[in-house]
Amino acid sequence: MTGVLALLFVAAWLIILSSCGTSIRRTSTTRAHEHAGRPPTGPTTPRAGRHGTSAGTPVGHAQRVPARGTTLVITVTRVIDPLRGSGAKVPPGMEAVGVLVAARNAGPAGYDSSATSDFSLLTAAGPASPVFVPSGTCQTYLQDFMNEIAPGQGRTGCVAFAIPRGEEPRMVRFSPDGGTAGVVRSWAMR
């Protein structure tokens, strides 16, 4: 009996960790981002020379992304820095940041992956770690918003990360299929 309970406990933790930092939301979001608790700035506009370069597309703009057998349309709609009132447990000297995303599968095939393996957040200090969020806008749900997206279907969700306190997010990256597809798209904060 003890072995069965241990196995169930490990299975539950694996499910929780596989969806860590992700959420499903089917709500509309605004095209803006926040920094240091300031209110959203409204829709972003492309800057000359930035669209489609290694510097990244501005937050709020959609990018078509080829994935295995399908094409996704991904928009980083907003970056919430800091992510307050989420209950996220982060190490000392760190703070939680939320990345709000809209994803649509343009087809022709389905898409099934994980937001925590597909999205990453970069600061001057390097890549951020995904974090579990028990409540609020970026609440982590058991069902990941990047799981089982049928052709024509759209989803919105949030991925939360821990960054060093005082650092600002610089770039969000999306690499479909957990980065195994060899495709990367980026969104710049400024």
Q: Give CATH for domain 2-188.
A: 2.60.40.1240
Cβ 69 vs Cβ 56: under 8 Å: no
Strand 57-58 relative to strand 185-188, pairing: parallel
As given in the structure block, the two tokens for residue 64 are 């078509």
Q: Choose between 29 and 188: higher pLDDT.
A: 188
Q: Taking Cα atoms as reference points, which of 178, 23, 185, 164 lies closest to residue 101? A: 23
- The answer to whether the Cα torsion of 55, 59, 62, 65 is positive or negative is positive
Q: Whole-structure pTM over 0.75, yes or no? A: no
**Average pLDDT score over the chain:** 78
pLDDT band at 85 (very low <50, low <70, confident <90, very high): very high
pLDDT in tens, 94-141: 999 999 999 999 999 999 999 989 999 999 999 999 999 999 999 998
